[in-house]
Structure 1
Amino acid sequence: MPINLRALTAILAMAALMPLSTFAQGAAITFGGIRADTSLPVEVTADQLNVSQTDGTATFTGNVLIGQGDMRLSADEVLVEYGGQDRTRIERLHAKGGVTLVNGSEAAEAQEAVYSVTAGEVVMTGSVLLTQNGSTIAGERLVVDLASGTGRMEGRVKTVLQPGAN
């Protein structure tokens, strides 16, 4: 079957104009501003606190704001899981409802986020929107390595790429 050169050229031209991320199911991103020293103290402010000695958790609700160094995480509710023999070391923070993670000029929004403090990793899920340096990238799951400042957006990734100025 002969190839229609004109049709092939048109298809390739259209594909070249589309952002590469529209084809991607996952995209590696630099997340340089969202770096954190996980050894710093974690400061929590909220409207209410419920503590369970049984399972070693604390639930903060209402206007929750968590700070660690320059990093800020806000949500409607955050479950704090403690670990270690004496249950005094924070293992994980599970944030729900209107979650926003900010550090410097970079911010990410999602429905939920799990911050594994000992692993130095934040996993954000549910309609994730990352804004950095005037650009945005959206997906269903964002995994951020706080030590390296790198991340990976997964799911149906979408972004608009702006051509650089000459």
Structure 2
Amino acid sequence: MVGGLIAGGLASLAFGSVAGAQSIAGFNSNQPVNYAADRIELQDRQNRVVLSGDVVIDQGDLRMTAGRTTVAYTDSGTLRIQRIDATGGVTVTRGNERASGDTAVYDFNRRVIVLSGGVALRRGSDTLDGGRLTIDLNSGLSSVDGRGSRAGENSGRVSGTFAVPQGD
């Protein structure tokens, strides 16, 4: 558990509010959501839309790509997205930060994005690998834990590399 807290702190340091970086805390999750895919299926009775084939979802400067997504919504005269479930090589990018994993859930009510399954974060030459990444769009806090990380030397753990500034 302590390792998870330390890793979460490192994730915040590496991918949070380092000077000059875009902060996820400044993200406006009330922006419109635009989407494109090879195929779109409206399942009106279930209040969902299934997008498949090279799915691209943009919300402001946040982009999610995946092989397939299911968008759940409510309809009270106006459609309101509740949740996006994505599978098939999911990538979330914003600015120079990129996170990828096997699956993702974007919960619009809680304003939280969770990527899981072989999660990899990249920002410049900094790397962070783990099993699950949780991004809280309200607080700007991101945390990574090792559950579900890929088999290998660091299986079940969070690992990474931070670039060291070169002296003058």
Mapped pair 1:123 → 2:114: yes
Gaps of 5+ in 1: 1-22
* Contact 2:113–2:135 (Cα < 8 Å) also in 1: yes
Mapped pair 1:97 → 2:88: yes
Q: TM-score, normalised by structure 1?
A: 0.79
Gaps of 5+ in 2: 17-21, 147-156
Distance 1:46 1:129 in 2: 24
Q: One-letter code of the match for 1:108? A: A
| Number of aligned residues | 144
Kindly state the Cα deviation for residue 55 of structure 1 after the two structures are TM-superposed: 1.2
Distance 2:131 2:23 in 1: 19
Larger relative contact order (C-alpha < 8 A, sep ≥ 6)? 1
Q: TM-score, normalised by structure 2?
A: 0.78
Aligned to 2:143: 152
* Contact 2:52–2:68 (Cα < 8 Å) also in 1: yes
Kindly state the Cα deviation for residue 149 of structure 1 after the two structures are TM-superposed: 2.4
Distance 2:106 2:121 in 1: 16
* Contact 1:45–1:64 (Cα < 8 Å) also in 2: yes
Aligned to 2:41: 50
Percent identical: 32
* Contact 1:38–1:118 (Cα < 8 Å) also in 2: no
**Rg bigger for which structure?**
1
CA-based RMSD of the aligned residues comes to 1.9
Kindly state the Cα deviation for residue 96 of structure 1 after the two structures are TM-superposed: 0.3
Distance 2:66 2:162 in 1: 29
